[in-house]
Chain A
Amino acid sequence: MPLVKRNIDPRHLCHTALPRGIKNELECVTNISLANIIRQLSSLSKYAEDIFGELFNEAHSFSFRVNSLQERVDRLSVSVTQLDPKEEELSLQDITMRKAFRSSTIQDQQLFDRKTLPIPLQETYDVCEQPPPLNILTPYRDDGKEGLKFYTNPSYFFDLWKEKMLQDTEDKRKEKRKQKKNLDRPHEPEKVPRAPHDRRREWQKLAQGPELAEDDANLLHKHIEVANGPASHFETRPQTYVDHMDGSYSLSALPFSQMSELLTRAEERVLVRPHEPPPPPPMHATGDMKPIPTCISSATGLIENRPQSPATGRTPVFVSPAPPPPPPPLPSALSTSSLRASMTSTPPPPVPPPPPPPATALQAPAVPPPPAPLQIAPGVLHPAPPPIAPPLVQPSPPIARAAPVCETVPVHPLPQGEVQGLPPPPPPPPLPPPGIRPSSPVTVAALAHPPSGLHPTPSTAPGPHVPLMPPSPPSQVIPASEPKRHPSTLPVISDARSVLLEAIRKGIQLRKVEEQREQEAKHERIENDVATILSRRIAVEYSDSEDDSEFDEVDWLE
């Protein structure tokens, strides 16, 4: 619908009520019309001045560019005359050492920002009624956000997208680090001591309640088995989803009610994050998910099922609910999962159902599920991850980043769990999804000390596994904790191991704070007008398999 940019003010010349007590009405009308004509002319002249002003500004900027271009051309002509073809000495060093030529591609960004609104439209906008002055309440808020943002936030979508991009780039980088470390040290996970995990896990367990706390042990065992089994399979894209979905192992064995609860919680978390109540999507998703969870009972089958959620969730909102990714990967996934199930030594006892029936059941409801995740992750574009991805140990993010993690995590549980039936419960604490992720490292760590009595029963919210480390973080933690070790090792001769564990715990805390600080610093550096850097991050994401993390860092530093 085209907006009228400039409206000449007195629209109707003589649509006014005549004053009473006038004898010659015709003359009165004439005079009124003439007066309105003069007003119209005045507004016309104002708009004409505005039009010419805009054109002039544009032409003026062009004149600057043309002048600079002229100077450059002059300089170039001078330098070209000085070029002497005889003296060209292009050694190999020069060719390789020089920075590659990159033309500056200036992209248009922030086109429809408030600041770029033309003046006449701004005036029209000002004529409208103001929103309620909710910003008065801002000083009384605990979370430091503006009150008006809850009512109307023009930058909402951009902020959402920016968070998403930042999160994805972080995940990508961690994936790459993990891949490298996993390639380098495939056996280190077994040596990680388990003691440091307990404290935070206990806290998180308490936070979530006793019912969910039991399943931690099961998760650990499962993850240990699965992680050590198909460790050779590496897929960059699905890994993020795998990590997020580490807790999904437990989801399979849960009753539908619990699964649906978790899923709706996850959904709500995604929607609540932007500080807006989740309206229809959760209901949609809940309705669609029901049939599928039945099929997702096999623990290993979850691995393959998981990536589908990102596949579906990542497609833009307006993609029709055709059954693209879900049906084909599902049967293949389940088949591969069945193979893996045979591979794993101790398949979880409560898990069981055979893959074929789930495959058929899955295909039927495959159509409805896609729209649900679509609604939850609107407008987010990601390549569909390949469906095969064994759960790999990955460094879990710090708890502080639980909130951004929740965004990606809930999308994954959706198609997998896809259990619904319960009304969306109140937004849960952001612990469960981060808890899900750390569970995998925890399980890997548990391998070193075979848990007694750990059962691979699916656990819903694998407790508050605080971002505890898998193989790589402990190595990183150790150097960080070294400065603290010096005072601690002095009095210790008998309890060297406990001291070491304490030092590691402190190192873990140090690492977490460092990461938080890094995150905050990055967020401060990155301002809203850095959409180009954000688009670069997209490039980083898509170039995952080929480029190393160096590329990421280069982009970050640019």
Chain B
Amino acid sequence: MAGQEDPVQREIHQDWANREYIEVITSSIKKIADFLNSFDMSCRSRLATLNEKLTALERRIEYIEARVAYQLEPLCLDLELTDSSWESSGHSADIDQVLTM
């Protein structure tokens, strides 16, 4: 009886140890998966706020450029700026040309 128990017991103990080992590994995998998901979400939210700020900035810059260009246009023809980009902007009232230069 004791002889029969030993190998079986050993096997069962060994099995329990293996299972615990596997359990540790799988729980770590789950933690990694959770971390990846939360990292993804937080990154996306930060990038989204960044995007918003960028668009707001871009619009403000467009507006300022338009204001400045209109101010400058009558000046360009008089001042004879050396900067070629500004010279080209003096020939047209189109904002887009001014912006793209």
For the complex, count residues of A whose C-beta is within 8 A of B: 46
* B14 touches which of A26, A34, A54, A72 (Cβ 8 Å): A26
Contact B29 A37 (CB under 8 A): yes
Contact B33 A8 (CB under 8 A): yes
From 60 to 97 in chain A, residues with beta carbon under 8 angstroms from any chain B beta carbon are: 62, 65-66, 69, 72-73, 75-76, 79-80, 82-84, 87-91, 94, 97
Contact A83 B68 (CB under 8 A): yes
Residue A184 at the chain B interface, CB threshold 8 Å: no
From 9 to 26 in chain B, residues with beta carbon under 8 angstroms from any chain A beta carbon are: 11-12, 14-15, 18-19, 22, 25-26
Contact A37 B78 (CB under 8 A): no
A144 to chain B, nearest CB (A): 39
Contact A88 B74 (CB under 8 A): yes
- Interface segment among A44-52, A161-169, A264-272, A496-504: the answer is A44-52
The secondary structure that dominates the B interface is helix
Residue B91 at the chain A interface, CB threshold 8 Å: no
Please indicate the chain A residues that have their CB under 8 angstroms from the CB of B59 in the complex: 103-104
Contact B11 A26 (CB under 8 A): yes
A-B CB contacts (within 8 Å), total count: 109
Contact B12 A99 (CB under 8 A): no
A85 to chain B, nearest CB (A): 9
Whether A90 touches B74, Cβ cut-off 8 Å, given contacts A55-B44, A65-B54, is: yes
Please indicate the chain B residues that have their CB under 8 angstroms from the CB of A65 in the complex: 54, 58
Residue A58 at the chain B interface, CB threshold 8 Å: yes
Contact A79 B29 (CB under 8 A): no
Query: How many B residues are at the interface, by size bracket?
Result: 35 or more
Smallest CB-CB separation from A104: which chain B residue? Answer: B62
Please indicate the chain B residues that have their CB under 8 angstroms from the CB of A422 in the complex: none
From 78 to 137 in chain A, residues with beta carbon under 8 angstroms from any chain B beta carbon are: 79-80, 82-84, 87-91, 94, 97-99, 101, 103-104, 106
From 63 to 101 in chain B, residues with beta carbon under 8 angstroms from any chain A beta carbon are: 63-66, 68, 70-75, 78-79, 81, 85-86, 93-95, 99, 101
B23 to chain A, nearest CB (A): 10
* A73 touches which of B11, B44, B51, B61 (Cβ 8 Å): B61
Residue A59 at the chain B interface, CB threshold 8 Å: yes
- 24 A–B contact pairs at CB < 8 A? A26-B14, A26-B18, A30-B19, A47-B36, A48-B32, A51-B39, A51-B40, A59-B47, A62-B51, A75-B101, A80-B68, A82-B72, A82-B81, A83-B71, A83-B75, A87-B74, A87-B78, A87-B79, A88-B75, A91-B74, A101-B66, A103-B59, A103-B62, A103-B63
| Interface positions of B (Cβ within 8 A of A) | 11-12, 14-15, 18-19, 22, 25-26, 29, 32-33, 36, 39-40, 43-44, 47, 50-51, 54-55, 57-59, 61-66, 68, 70-75, 78-79, 81, 85-86, 93-95, 99, 101
